[in-house]
């Protein structure tokens, strides 16, 4: 878990920094930026999970008390990667001002049965810089390709996770209080092991409402959103949905950055029999 922390945190910090230098910020999100929720396919063998096809979470991003952007997290459909049915997971972030926009899109293809990542794409648009990164993962062969850069890289696990599927995988765990999990499943070897601390249970109020939550702290062996210095906390709803309620972290010299749930549209679970 190294690239998502640095890239995603960089996006949030960039938006906040524009305010720190006197700019206003809030990019409007095109209404068709994500496709309407599709109908879940019937008959696919799938592991039970707390999310489903068509799920959509919308967030406001804040620096202190100031709004600096918006984000969406969605399960936009089911696709097939090399014969394997996969959830299509999307995470987008928009913010900024004219000539200083952030518009990042992360997409993951997560196997509906093994919950392993099979494909991961990052589209980064920050200021006037654009970057595309494409990874193809072959869990059964314990290898992955950084498309156009390097092939045949080693995976530590036959159930690897990328930056987005990792967050969805967290939602499937029981998360017992005071538990600390150690995972060696991040697809890029130098990001392992990932530690997940279960800190506490508490009621949290966000724009979408007031919910019981379980608070976890992911800790990654790299600089970025989830490093130890950021003291990042993720609030997940303490119910069967395990929706993301809040992500909060510290940014050097900028203070607290927060992503809070504005609205939640439930998805339709896959109901295939294995």
pTM over 0.75: yes
pLDDT at 2 over 50: no
190 found inside a domain: no
145 found inside a domain: yes
Terminal-to-terminal C-alpha distance of the chain: 31
Pairing of strands 100-111, 117-126: antiparallel
Angle between helices 3-20 and 163-170 (to 10 degrees): 100
* CB-CB contact of 149 with 134 (8 Å): no
Q: How confident is the model at residue 120, as a pLDDT? A: 96
Q: How confident is the model at residue 45, as a pLDDT? A: 86
What separation in angstroms does the CA of 266 have from each of 38, 53, 187, 210? 12, 8, 29, 17
Q: Does residue 150 sit in helix, strand or coil? A: strand
Please tell me what DSSP assigns to residue 165. Answer: H
Task: Please give the Cα distance from 159 to 51 (Å, whole number).
Answer: 19
183 found inside a domain: no
pLDDT at 169 over 70: yes
* CB-CB contact of 255 with 230 (8 Å): no
- Residues 42-66 have a mean pLDDT of 90
58 found inside a domain: yes
34 found inside a domain: yes
Q: Which domain holds residue 90?
A: 3-172+254-265
Count of residues making up the chain: 274
Share of the chain above pLDDT 70, in %: 76
Q: How confident is the model at residue 226 (pLDDT cuts 50, 70, 90)?
A: low
User: In a 10 Å sphere around its CB, with 0-12 CB exposed, 13-18 middle and 19+ buried, how is residue 264 labelled?
Assistant: buried
- Total count of domains within the chain: 1
Question: Please, what is the average pLDDT of the chain?
Answer: 83
- Residues 60-78 have a mean pLDDT of 89
**Residues 6+ positions from 39 with CB-CB distance below 8 Å:** 53, 54, 268
Among 25-29, 77-81, 254-258, which is the least confidently predicted range?
25-29
What separation in angstroms does the CA of 41 have from each of 52, 79, 112, 270? 11, 10, 12, 7
220 found inside a domain: no
Q: Would you list the DSSP string of 205-229?
A: EETTEEEEEEEEEEE-SSSSTTSGG
Pairing of strands 150-154, 244-251: unpaired
Paired tokens of 9: 């945190």
114 found inside a domain: yes
Q: How confident is the model at residue 131, as a pLDDT? A: 84
- pLDDT digits over 99-123, tens only? 666 788 999 999 999 999 999 999 9
65 found inside a domain: yes
* CB-CB contact of 142 with 153 (8 Å): no
């Amino acid at each position: 878990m190294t690239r998502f922390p640095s890239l995603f945190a960089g996006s949030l910090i960039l938006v906040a920094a524009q305010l720190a230098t006197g700019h206003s910020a809030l990019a409007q999100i095109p209404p068709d930026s994500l496709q309407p929720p599709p109908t879940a396919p019937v008959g696919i063998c799938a592991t039970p999970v707390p999310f489903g096809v068509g799920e959509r979470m919308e967030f406001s991003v804040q620096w202190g008390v100031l709004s600096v952007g918006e984000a969406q997290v969605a399960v936009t459909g089911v696709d097939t990667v090399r014969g394997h049915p996969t959830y299509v997971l999307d995470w987008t972030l928009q913010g900024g001002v004219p000539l200083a926009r952030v518009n990042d899109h992360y997409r993951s293809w997560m196997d509906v049965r093994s919950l392993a990542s099979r494909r991961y794409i990052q589209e980064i648009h920050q200021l006037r810089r654009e970057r595309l990164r494409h990874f193809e993962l072959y869990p059964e062969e314990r290898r992955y390709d950084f498309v156009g850069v390097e092939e045949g890289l080693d995976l530590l696990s036959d159930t690897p996770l990328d930056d987005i599927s990792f967050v969805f995988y967290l939602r499937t765990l029981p998360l017992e209080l005071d538990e600390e999990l150690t995972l060696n499943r991040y697809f890029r070897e130098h990001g392992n092991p990932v530690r997940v601390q279960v800190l506490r249970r508490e009621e949290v109020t966000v724009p979408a409402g007031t919910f019981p939550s379980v608070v976890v702290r992911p800790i990654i062996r790299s600089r970025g959103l989830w490093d130890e210095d950021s003291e990042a906390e993720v609030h997940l709803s303490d119910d069967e949905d395990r929706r993301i309620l809040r992500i909060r972290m510290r940014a050097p010299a900028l203070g607290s950055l927060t992503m809070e749930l504005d609205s939640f549209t439930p998805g339709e679970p896959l109901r295939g029999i294995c």
